Amino acid sequence: MISRRQLLAACAASTTTLSPWATSRSWAQGQPVRLVVGFAAGGSADFVARQLGQLLAAEIGAPVLVDNRPGAGGRIAVEAVKNAKPDGLTLLVTPGSILTIYPHVYTKLSYQPLTDLVPVAALCALPYSVNVGPLVPASVRSLQDFGAWLKAHPQMASYGSPGAGTTPHFLGAMFAASVGVDYVHAPYKGGALALQDVMAGQLTSSFNVVSEPVAQIGNPKLRTLAVSSAQRIAQMPQVPTFAEQGLGDLTSSEWMGLLAPKGTPAELVQRLHAAANRSMAQPKLQQALAEMAFSVTASSQAEFAQLLQQDLRKWGPVVQRTGFKAEG
């Protein structure tokens, strides 16, 4: 995990030349800053936004509210921020896939990530997991077991994800291809909702950000079969990685980022970047994220912008190999 000293060093250069936050009329008047999240409360993006918001409020001297806009796999939230005034009062907290995978998936997308949004700060990185519930017998203990069981029970071969075109959606598709099953995808308005249906026995399985099953440790109605990180995670040391089970191609993690509407003044973006980095450097926030198996990432604004561009290029061939396309 990135140390507090490293994070503070990453934002030190920008903090030395910044004017006080009170020079912004909106913040000086105490108008709230909204962190718009494209998924329901209780999910990973919501968790990160709420942890960040608590500390960001102290940094900017204004209230910070989390505004959940679930639906369309996170696109509603992106559109809301895209169309917001570029005044620093409306920001987007989103997983990277909404900006780097969707442009390759949707034939009609109402936003262009490189031109409609301004990268502010990379916040953290998070791995994924595959989870099953009461519909899958306890004898299924590995991905190999699960693949064999799905072949024997094709009517049960379904999985949920936070939405069509998200990273968990494609991890599920890649798993299906690797084990040779017809795995029906059920998109939800957030991974936490899919996981609830798995535990309730209404859905066979789900691919989730690892924080979501971590929050359910000890629940007898949930079993995690694999994690997508390169190594096992401390919270679930008994759960093997995809690579350990012969599926190294599914090893992956995703960044969570903070972005502003196009046209936001450069000085304001710089202030937001510095404030977000200072917030993410706080031990309280780092500990909260570490408990959910997230790792804090420190980078400059330019490095975050470069990461966005690189991932946008990377996912194109992956999506093309699956053959998936979505209307809308």
Percent of the chain clearing pLDDT 70 (strictly above): 91
**Cβ-contact 28, 22 below 8 angstroms:** yes
So what's the pLDDT on residue 214?
93
User: Rounded mean pLDDT of 293-302?
Assistant: 89
* pLDDT above 70 for 93: yes
In the chain the domains, ranked by start, together with CATH numbers, are 4-126+254-322 (3.40.190.150), 127-250 (3.40.190.10)
More confident residue, 21 or 246: 246
Closest CA to 304 of 253, 255, 252: 255
Closest CA to 181 of 206, 205, 148: 148
Confidence of residue 102 (pLDDT cuts 50, 70, 90): very high
Closest alpha carbon to 162 in 229, 248, 98: 98
Q: How confident is the model at residue 13 (pLDDT cuts 50, 70, 90)?
A: very low
Predicted local confidence at residue 26, as pLDDT: 62
Residue with tokens 């990160």: 48
* Token pair for 281: 């450097």
pLDDT given for residue 183 in this prediction: 95
What integer pLDDT is reported at residue 40 of this predicted model? 86
- Other CB atoms within 10 A of residue 63 CB: 13
Task: Of 233, 226, 265, 271, give the one whose Cα is nearest residue 249.
Answer: 226
Tell how far CA 165 is from the center of its chain: 13
- Position 71 pLDDT exceeds 60: yes
Q: Is 90 exceeded by the pLDDT of residue 150? A: yes
Q: With 90 as the cut, is the pLDDT of residue 218 above it?
A: yes
- Please report, as a single letter, which amino acid is at residue 286: Q
Residue 298: pLDDT band (50, 70, 90) is confident
pLDDT of residue 50: 97
Q: Distance between CA atoms of 299 and 108, rounded to whole angstroms?
A: 32
What sign does the CA torsion over 105, 106, 112, 118 have?
A: negative
The mean pLDDT value for 50-75 works out to: 94
Q: What is the mean pLDDT of residues 233-246?
A: 96
Measured CA to CA, the distance from residue 230 to residue 241 in angstroms comes to 7
pLDDT tier, 4 (very low <50, low <70, confident <90, very high otherwise) = low
> Where residue 18 falls among pLDDT bands split at 50, 70, 90?
very low
Q: How confident is the model at residue 28 (pLDDT cuts 50, 70, 90)?
A: low
Tell me the C-alpha distance between 145 and 151, whole Å.
10
Tell me the sheet residues that pair with 67. 36
CA 42, CA 80: separation in Å to the nearest integer? 20
99 near 254, Cβ under 8 Å?
no
Residues with Cβ < 8 Å from 11, sequence gap 6 or more?
Answer: 273, 274, 277, 278, 281, 298
Burial (CB count within 10 angstroms: exposed 0-12, middle 13-18, buried 19+), residue 90? buried
Q: How confident is the model at residue 14 (pLDDT cuts 50, 70, 90)?
A: very low
Q: Residue 136 gets which letter from DSSP? A: S
Nearest to 254 by CA among 179, 198, 314, 319: 314
Q: At residue 206, does pLDDT exceed 80?
A: yes
